[in-house]
C-alpha cells in the first residue's frame, strides 16, 4: 500500500502471513523495478533497466541493495522465504493454542482493560430467549470503525445461548479458494482460553476431506474469527465453546461461472454443514464475521471513496439489494447479485454468507444496522449487523 509516512513516500511492503516481520518502504523511483523480480529477468537486465530509469551510474549498487533488502526481509520466493514460511507454519502446527494475533493493536491486551473497553461500547447480550434466533452476522472490521454494527449484532444474542457451540464462519482473507480452514486449537485471548468442539471439527474433516485444510495456518493471522471470539468471551465467559471455520473465496464460480457447490469439495462441505445443523441445531449458534463492500484507492479503484456520499450512495443501494436476498434466505438470488463483474463491490464476506445460507436454508434475516467507514481518506468499507432466525 502507499506509504503512510509523509517524510518517506513510496510503496510500503509487508507480509500479512507474518512469515516475515519486516516492513519495507520502496522509494518511488524503484517501485517499477519490483515487477522485474519475477524469476525470469537476469541481474544484467535489472541493472540496464535501472540505469535507463535513473541515469545513475551506480545502478548496479542500487539494484544489489534493493535485491538484498527484499531477500533479507523474506519478500523473494527463495530459500530465505521458504525457511521463514516453514518455521512459522511448524510453530503454529506445534502450538497448543491459537494465540491472539491482534491483541494490543486492534483491542486491549489486558483482560480488565478489555472488559472496560467493551463495556463502554455497550456490547452486551440483550435478546429475548426463545425468539428463534439461530445466529448473527457481525463485522470483522477493526472495532474502532464498526462499534454500532458490532453492538447491534451482539445485542441480538441472549444469555440462554451460553452453553451452545458457536459455529464461527469467518472470511479467510489469505486462504485457498474453494477451501475451508479448520483447527482443533483453543483460541487464547486476554480473557483466557476457549473450548473448541473438536468432535465436530473432526467430523467435518472426515466428511469433506477434499475441501478441508486441517490446522490451516491462516488461523494464526486471521482477524475475522478472532474479533468474534473476543466478543463472545466477553458475553459468555472465556471458556465459550466454538467451531471456527475459515471460508476461502468461491473463485471458480466468480470467474468461471456456475454455483459454488459445482465444485465437488465445496458441495461435500456445504452438505456436511447442513447435516450438522439438522442433527445438532438445538445446541448450535452461528456467528458470521463478515464485511461487505470495499471501495476506493486502497482496493484498486480509481475513484476516491467517501462514506455515505458520491459513489458510495450507489454502493449502499446495491449492498441493500444483496442484504435483501440474505434476509429472504435466497442463496441463489444472493449469488446472482455477487457474481457479475467478478463481484466489483468486493464483498469479502460473500463466501461465509453463502455458506450459511446453504447450511441453514430455513433461516431468515433481519437487518439491525448498516454503515460505512472511511478506513483511510480515500477508501471505504461497508458492513452491518444482522440477526438470523428460524423461518
- Model confidence at 57, in pLDDT bands (50, 70, 90)? low
H/E/C letters for each residue in the chain? CECCCCCCCCEEEECCCCCCCCEEEECHHHHHHHHHCCCCCCHHHHHHHHHHHHCCCCHHHHHHHHHHHHHHHCCCCCHHHHHHHHHHHHHHHHCCCEECCCECCCECCCHHHHHHHHHHCCCCCCCCCCCCEEEEEECCCCHHHHHHHHHHHHCCCCHHHCCCEEEEEEECCCCCCCCEEECCCCEEECCEECEECHHHHHHHHHHCCCCEEECCCHHHHCCCCHHHHHHHHHHHCCCCEEEEEEECCCHHHHHHCCCHHHCHHHHHHHHHHHHHHHHHHHHEEEEEECCCCEEEHHHCCCCCCCCCCCHHHHHHHHHHHHHHHHHCCCHHHHHHHHCHHHCCCCCCCHHHHHHHHHHCCCEEEEEEEEEEEEEECCEEEEEEEEEEEEC
Q: For the chain, give the number of residues.
A: 391
Task: Provide the whole-model pTM.
Answer: 0.91
Q: For 58-67, 120-129, 224-233, which range has the lowest pLDDT when averaged over its residues?
A: 58-67
Q: What is the mean pLDDT of residues 131-135?
A: 91
Which whole-number Å values give the CA distances from 6 to 25, 206, 227, 366, in the listed order? 12, 52, 31, 44
Q: What is the pLDDT of residues 295-353, one digit of tens each?
A: 999 999 999 999 999 999 999 999 999 999 999 999 999 999 999 999 999 999 999 99
Helical axes 143-154 vs 226-236, angle rounded to 10°:
50
Q: Where are the domains of the chain?
A: 11-90, 98-390
- Distance (Å, rounded) from C-alpha 235 to C-alpha 85? 36
- Distance (Å, rounded) from C-alpha 310 to C-alpha 316? 10
Helical axes 111-120 vs 226-236, angle rounded to 10°:
90
- Distance (Å, rounded) from C-alpha 7 to C-alpha 1? 16
**Residues in Cβ contact with 320 at an 8 Å cutoff, skipping those fewer than 6 apart:** 370
Instruction: For the chain, give the mean pLDDT.
Output: 94
**Residues in Cβ contact with 372 at an 8 Å cutoff, skipping those fewer than 6 apart:** 307, 308, 312, 316, 380, 381, 382
Q: What's the pLDDT score for residue 317? A: 98
Q: Give the pairing of strands 187-189 and 98-99.
A: parallel
| Phi/psi of residue 290, nearest 5 degrees | -140, 140
- Distance (Å, rounded) from C-alpha 10 to C-alpha 30? 9
Q: What is the mean pLDDT of residues 218-232?
A: 97
- Distance (Å, rounded) from C-alpha 366 to C-alpha 193? 31
Q: What's the pLDDT score for residue 130? A: 64
Q: What's the pLDDT score for residue 129? A: 64
Domain 98-390 class in CATH: alpha beta
Most confident of 120-124, 209-213, 278-282: 209-213
Amino acid at each position: 500500500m502507499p506509504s503512510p509516512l509523509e517524510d518517506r513516500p513510496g510503496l510500503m511492503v509487508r507480509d500479512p502471513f507474518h512469515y516475515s516481520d519486516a516492513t519495507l518502504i520502496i522509494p518511488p523511483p524503484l517501485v517499477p523495478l519490483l515487477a522485474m523480480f519475477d524469476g525470469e529477468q537476469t541481474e544484467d537486465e535489472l541493472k540496464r533497466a535501472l540505469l535507463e530509469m535513473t541515469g545513475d551510474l551506480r545502478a548496479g549498487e542500487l539494484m544489489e541493495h534493493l535485491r538484498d533488502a527484499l531477500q533479507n526481509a523474506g519478500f523473494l520466493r527463495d530459500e530465505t522465504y521458504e525457511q521463514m514460511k516453514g518455521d512459522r507454519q511448524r510453530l503454529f502446527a506445534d502450538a497448543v493454542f491459537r494465540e491472539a494475533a491482534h491483541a494490543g493493536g486492534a483491542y486491549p491486551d489486558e483482560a480488565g482493560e478489555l472488559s472496560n473497553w467493551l463495556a463502554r461500547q455497550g456490547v452486551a447480550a440483550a435478546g429475548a430467549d426463545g425468539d428463534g434466533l439461530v445466529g448473527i452476522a457481525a463485522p470483522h472490521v477493526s472495532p474502532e470503525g464498526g462499534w454500532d454494527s458490532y453492538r447491534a449484532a451482539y445485542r441480538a444474542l441472549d444469555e440462554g445461548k451460553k452453553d451452545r457451540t458457536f459455529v464461527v464462519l469467518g472470511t479467510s482473507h489469505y486462504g485457498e479458494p474453494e477451501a475451508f480452514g479448520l483447527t482443533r486449537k483453543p483460541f487464547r485471548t486476554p480473557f483466557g482460553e476457549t473450548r473448541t468442539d473438536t468432535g465436530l471439527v473432526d467430523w467435518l474433516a472426515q466428511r469433506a476431506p477434499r475441501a478441508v485444510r486441517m490446522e490451516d495456518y491462516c488461523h494464526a493471522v486471521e482477524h475475522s474469527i478472532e474479533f468474534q471470539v473476543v466478543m463472545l468471551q466477553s458475553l459468555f465467559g472465556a471458556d465459550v465453546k466454538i467451531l471456527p471455520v475459515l471460508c476461502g473465496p468461491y473463485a471458480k464460480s466468480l470467474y468461471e461461472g456456475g454455483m459454488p457447490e459445482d465444485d465437488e469439495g465445496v458441495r461435500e462441505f456445504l452438505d456436511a454443514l447442513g447435516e450438522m445443523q439438522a442433527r445438532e441445531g438445538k445446541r448450535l449458534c452461528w456467528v458470521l464475521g463478515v464485511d461487505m463492500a470495499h471501495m476506493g484507492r486502497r482496493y484498486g479503484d480509481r475513484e476516491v471513496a467517501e462514506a455515505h456520499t458520491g459513489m458510495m450512495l450507489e454502493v449502499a443501494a446495491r449492498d441493500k439489494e444483496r442484504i435483501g436476498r440474505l434476509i429472504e434466505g435466497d442463496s441463489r438470488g444472493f449469488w446472482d447479485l455477487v457474481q457479475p463483474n467478478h463481484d466489483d463491490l468486493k464483498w469479502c464476506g460473500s463466501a461465509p454468507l453463502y455458506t450459511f445460507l446453504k447450511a441453514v436454508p430455513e433461516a431468515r434475516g433481519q437487518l439491525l444496522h448498516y454503515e460505512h467507514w472511511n478506513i483511510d481518506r480515500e477508501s471505504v468499507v461497508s458492513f452491518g449487523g444482522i440477526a438470523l432466525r428460524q423461518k
